[in-house]
Chain A
Amino acid sequence: MRDQKQSASMDAKVPQGPLADKWTQHKNHVNLVNPANKRSIDVIVVGTGLAGSSAAASLAEMGYNVKAFCFQDSPRRAHSIAAQGGINAAKNYQNDGDSTFRLFYDTIKGGDYRSREANVHRLAEVSANIIDQCVMQGVPFARDYGGMLDNRSFGGVQVSRTFYAKGQTGQQLLLGAYSALSRQIGQGKVEMFNRHEMMDVVVVDGKCRGIIARNLITGALERHSAHAVVLCTGGYGNTFFLSTNAMGSNASAAWKAHRKGSYFANPCYTQIHPTCIPVSDEAQSKLTLMSESLRNDGRIWVPKHKKDVAAIRSGALKPVDLVEEDRDYYLERRYPAFGNLVPRDVASRAAKERCDAGMGVNSSGQAVFLDFSSAIERYGKTAANVKGIESPSAEQIEDLGREAVEAKYGNLFQMYQQITADNPYETPMKIYPAVHYTMGGLWVDYNLMTTVPGLYAAGEANFSDHGANRLGASALMQGLADGYFVLPYTIGDYLADDIRTGAISTEGAEFDTAERGVRERIEALMGNGGTTPVDDFHRELGKIMWNKCGMSRNATDLQSAIIEIQALRERFYKDVRIPGRADQFNPELDKAGRVADFLELGELMCKDALERNESCGGHFREEHQNAEGEADRDDINFTHVSSWEFTGVPSEATLHKEELAFENVELKTRSYK
């Protein structure tokens, strides 16, 4: 392999000392900025999800002048709001043996040994404070009858450490961070720019010193300077067109940073969530997640025989009428130890395998059943026993069972019915995997700084904590940890050198060049005389990515995907049609800019997937599986972060490796048999 002339590992600036002391020691020794000096230092925060809102609020409270940007009409609408399940914290309130080390260990293992030990341990350390902080802000977590906080189990770990607020945990945490942000806006310490999109970062004398933003209402380009810029702009799941991300979720800020010198780490690590509502038709605009918690009680199956598949698809046979011995509970068959509770990546691949074999149960062949009838019967019998009903009738059992299932999953069943018009109490749910989260992102060191000095990345936008696979209820934890508790320390260490710099001018050549570049890109898109709507290109990119860089990948497909994406990108610039003008509210233009960046990032994702010649976590290479079809990791050659430097063509980026040292855990093979 070429591009590996850089033999030295990238320096992640991980502090010395024992794992458990690193963060404390680091905090004790970083440079501080005194309160009077903070007043003359400006920080820009892009994005207002959990990481962005919490960072902007915290930095403003400390005394910095903050400018915050979001493309939505209010910072409260960032996509963190849609997270359902919960947030992990090593509180050990259940007295089930949880600890900081266990949360650290579970996260490292869940990430298939591809994340940085020191970052993950810090995340586990600060997790408990997140809960304290949020409670003081008035976040209404679920409580038990004693008034204490309730927990639930999540994602296959052996302790109960997930805090939640019904199925709306992300919403409640984001509104907590939004309230802290609103307080600072009200006090004039944060200047908030709604409906603004970051178009480029500006680098002056090797340091990030500002951004070019576009006012999405007027189309005006604006220059904003600062001593440091923080990108909290989320993940890049929408490269696939269909995902559980919001329609506006995009990778443009991260990609612009990449083009300006920030390395992009592990772009091939994407999480495909096994339980989403399947695609219904070509006009489908996005996919909806059904919480992972459903796999606690639902059994996943497809028919054993093709004739039954055909009958179910045509409607001649109802799934409830197919007898037990003609059903294939394939997760229980393949993974008797974990059954339906295997991790997300394994469950997703198994569903794809059955559907590829022609066993999919809807008209497109891309769905499997998630069946609650056994759970209804089991709960019904228990309830009948508890109530002392002797020899209960089948109807009685079913009624009691439904009540029990409704108490646990009522809101999810309701949502499913609202979208599909099927009643999941009476007929099994149909589900299929969908793109949900991206573990890769901008490479950052221990201080969350990218390879461009003064340019930081936090939350899903960076790559740092989840390795090759993220555990459930860990994304919310990471976003708030970065924003509330990590950046406020680490950014001061950098800004301490800037106390005499004074305000950064927006008049220099670098701002001129950046703004001109943005203007030219917009003009090129607007004035090409094309005929094809933006969504056509996005949908086509999504199909290439899903088919060739999705749940399973191989070298041949990845190589052809790169060529196809390059051709698609060329067609896009020649033939995309954007109606209207650039100096007005024009959502098609906003979308075109984002798709242009996905068309480059997708190529880099394929390149990274091609170079990572092993299977690990969400990245499954068909060439690297054992006789039973399970993933084969290659710890000798791939225990590193792949960090890519932009050189002009996305797939010709230069690879820099950060070798991962595992000093506190032993590398093991994950097995769920």
Chain B
Amino acid sequence: MNFTLKIWRQDGPKSPGRMVTYPVTGISDEMSFLEMIDVLNDQLVRNGDEPVAFDHDCREGICGMCSMFINGEAHGPNRLTTTCQLHMRSFKDGETIYIEPWRAAAFPIIRDLVVDRSAMDRVMQSGGYVSVNTSGNTVDANALPIPKPAADEAFQAAACIGCGACVATCKNASAMLFVSAKVSQLALLPQGQPERLNRAESMVEQMDLEGFGNCTNTGACEVECPVGISLDHIARMNRDFLHAKVAKKG
């Protein structure tokens, strides 16, 4: 297969960026999207040019590091699929493919398609945990029965891979789906109850400080999320946040 790639190139955080056109030929439909970029980069290096910088690591759809905006969609055209699990058979021979970085004020560009997502780490550091020391001297694990439906729903929220596709997709660059997944996971479990309201409040405040936009409930994030995190978690976080604010005033 042959493709025309139009890729965002940007030397550094303060340099101007631009779309650059590259033809690639002889691509097998078995290749993953990132292997296709590997082929391009191999050609670039052999020609003495600089390869396209992009983030990737596990290439199994779980680490959350790969992050390409392909033809106007986070992680490309397929649902429930990260960029690394997208294969070239999902494209038509001869197609032109546009590849851009995640774009959000809270995700400054480092180089080409690589952005700085440390804002997401800082939101986690503001409360995305249960305050228990790691002594091992807690209660026996089965002393804390958790109804299966609650455990399953918490698992669904915990499946978030932290890739930032929700932010990249949102017209406001809001991180509500990401933040709510963690707030919701811990709100659904008994271990998370003591800090539940404080957690929601402090994580939302940190999210705002980082410059993520507001949520206007369009739901695009849920559509593009590669692991299917549900909008319901945003509703749960909003309730806890409101509850925290009202409780404080009272």
State the A residues within 8 Å of B (CB): 54, 57-58, 61, 72-77, 79, 81-82, 91, 93, 126, 129-149, 165-166, 168, 171-172, 175, 178-180, 182-183, 185-186, 192, 194, 217, 246-248, 280-281, 283-286, 288, 415, 418-421, 484-485, 531, 533, 535, 577, 579-580, 584-585, 587-588
19 interchain pairs, CB-CB under 8 A: A54-B134, A74-B120, A82-B62, A132-B136, A135-B144, A138-B186, A140-B185, A141-B151, A143-B151, A144-B148, A168-B62, A175-B158, A179-B130, A182-B128, A185-B125, A484-B134, A484-B136, A579-B49, A587-B51
Distance in angstroms between the alpha carbons of A82 and B58 in the assembled complex: 7
- Within the complex, what minimum Cβ distance (angstroms) separates B235 from chain A? 20
* Chain B interface SS verdict (over half): loop
Most B CB contacts (10 A, CB to CB) among A58, A126, A168, A175 go to: A175
Q: Assess whether B97 is interfacial by the CB under 8 Å rule.
A: no
| A81-B63, A418-B81 as given contacts; A61 in contact with B134, CB under 8 Å | yes
Given contacts A137-B132, A175-B158, contact A77 B59 (CB under 8 A): no
A248 to chain B, nearest CB (A): 5
Q: Are B57 and A248 in contact (CB under 8 A)?
A: yes
Closest to B126 in A: A186
- Known contacts A165-B155, A285-B38; A137/B129 CB under 8 A: yes
B20 contacts chain A at the CB level, 8 A cutoff: no
Is there a chain A Cβ closer than 8 Å to B231's Cβ? no
Q: Shortest beta-carbon distance, B240 to chain A, in Å?
A: 15
The reply to whether A283 and B35 form a contact with Cβ atoms under 8 Å apart is: yes
Interface string of B21-37 (1 = CB under 8 A from A): 00000001011101100
Residue B139 lies at the interface, judged by CB distance under 8 Å to chain A: yes
Return B37 CB to nearest CB of chain A, in Å.
10
Contact of A126 among B35, B136, B161, B192 (CB under 8 A): B136
Instruction: Give the residue of A179, A183, A285 whose beta carbon is less than 8 angstroms from that of B35.
Output: A285
Say whether B250 faces chain A, with CB atoms less than 8 Å apart. no
Size class of the contact patch on chain B: 35 or more
Complex Cα spacing A235 to B81, Å = 28
A-B complex: 9 closest residue pairs judged by Cβ atoms: A147-B145, A129-B136, A186-B125, A179-B129, A140-B155, A135-B141, A280-B30, A585-B111, A136-B138
Q: Is B218 an interface residue (CB 8 A)?
A: no
Residue among B56, B57, B126, B139 with the highest chain A CB neighbour number at 10 A: B57
Could you tell me the distance between the alpha carbons of A140 and B110 in the complex, rounded to whole angstroms?
A: 34
Query: B162 near A76 (CB under 8 angstroms)?
Result: yes
Q: Contacts A138-B186, A484-B136, A588-B51: A81 and B151 contacting too (C-beta < 8 A)?
A: no
Tell me which of B28, B50, B81, B129 has the highest count of chain A C-beta atoms within 10 A of its own C-beta.
Answer: B129
Q: How far is the CA of A371 from the CA of B23 in the complex (A)?
A: 40
Q: Decide if A247 touches B139 in the complex (CB within 8 Å).
A: no
Nearest A residue to B182, CB-CB: A179
The chain A residue with its CB closest to the CB of B116 is A73
Residue of B nearest to A421 (CB): B89
In the complex, the answer to whether A72 meets B129 with C-beta atoms within 8 Å is no
- Give a binary string over B1-27; 1 marks a CB under 8 Å from any A CB, 0 the rest: 000000000011000000000000000
How many residue pairs, one in A and one in B, have C-beta atoms under 8 Å apart? 212
Q: Given A72-B57, A133-B138, A136-B191, A533–B42 Cβ distance below 8 Å?
A: yes
Kindly report which residue of chain A lies nearest to residue B140, judged by CB atoms: A132
Kindly state the separation between the CA atoms of A346 and B140 in the bound complex, as whole angstroms. Answer: 37
Please indicate the chain B residues that have their CB under 8 angstroms from the CB of A143 in the complex.
Answer: 146, 148, 151
- A535 and B140 CA atoms in complex are apart in Å by 49
Selected contact of A182 from candidates B49, B63, B129, B151, CB within 8 Å: B129
Question: Which residues of chain B are near A580, meaning CB under 8 Å?
Answer: 50
Residues of A within 8 A of B159 (CB): 168, 171
B-side contacts of A145, CB under 8 Å: 148
Which of the residues A57, A91, A577 comes within 8 Å of B141, measured between beta carbons? A91
> Contacts of B249 on A, CB cut-off 8 Å?
none
B residues neighboring A (CB under 8 Å): 11-12, 28, 30-32, 34-35, 38-39, 42, 44-46, 48-51, 53, 55-65, 81, 85, 87, 89, 110-111, 114, 116-118, 120-121, 124-142, 144-148, 151, 154-155, 158-159, 161-162, 185-186, 189, 191-192
**B126, A147: Cβ atoms closer than 8 Å:** no
Question: Distance (Å) between the CB of A589 and the closest chain B CB?
Answer: 11
Give Cα A111 to B48, complex, Å.
48
| Contact among A54, A285, A584 with B32 in the assembled complex (CB-CB below 8 Å) | A285
Complex Cα–Cα for A82 and B39 (A): 25
List chain B residues, Cβ under 8 A from A58: 134
Q: Within the complex, what minimum Cβ distance (angstroms) separates A222 from chain B?
A: 17
List the A side residues contacting B158 at CB < 8 Å. Answer: 138-140, 165, 172, 175
Rounded to whole Å, the gap between the CB of A430 and the closest CB of chain B is 12
Residue pair B59, A285 in contact (C-beta under 8 Å): yes
Question: Which B residues touch A91, using CB under 8 A?
Answer: 141
Q: Are A57 and B185 in contact, CB atoms less than 8 angstroms apart?
A: no
Residues of B with C-beta under 8 A to A285: 32, 34-35, 38, 59
Contact between A281 and B59, CB atoms less than 8 A apart: no
B44 contacts across to A, CB distance below 8 A: 579
A283–B185 CA distance with the chains assembled, in angstroms: 39
Q: How far is the CA of A185 from the CA of B128 in the complex (A)?
A: 12
Shortest beta-carbon distance, B123 to chain A, in Å? 9
Q: Which of A91, A248, A420 lies at the interface centre, i.e. has the most chain B CB atoms within 10 A of its CB?
A: A248
Q: Identify A533's interface contact among B45, B147, B185, B189, CB under 8 A.
A: B45
Instruction: Output the least CB separation between A656 and chain B (Å).
Output: 34
Judge whether B145 and A146 touch: CB under 8 Å: yes
- Measured CB to CB, the nearest residue on chain A to B127 is A186
A61 contacts which of B31, B39, B63, B133 (Cβ < 8 Å)? B133
Contact of A585 among B46, B110, B185 (CB under 8 A): B110
Contact pick for B53, options A137, A149, A585, CB 8 Å:
A585
Known contacts: A138-B130, A146-B145, A183-B131. The answer to whether A77 contacts B28 by CB under 8 A is no
Give the complex CA separation of A137 and B131 in angstroms.
Answer: 8
Beyond A178-B124, A285-B32, 13 additional pairs, beta carbon < 8 A: A74-B118, A132-B141, A136-B191, A138-B154, A142-B151, A147-B147, A148-B142, A149-B142, A183-B129, A217-B110, A280-B31, A415-B61, A585-B12
Candidates A73, A136, A246, A281; contact of B118 at CB < 8 Å:
A73
Q: Which of A57, A134, A283, A419 has the most CB of B within 10 A?
A: A283
Contact A132/B81 with A280-B28, A580-B50, A588-B45 known, Cβ cut-off 8 Å: no
Q: In the assembly, what is the distance between CA of A82 and CA of B132, in Å?
A: 25
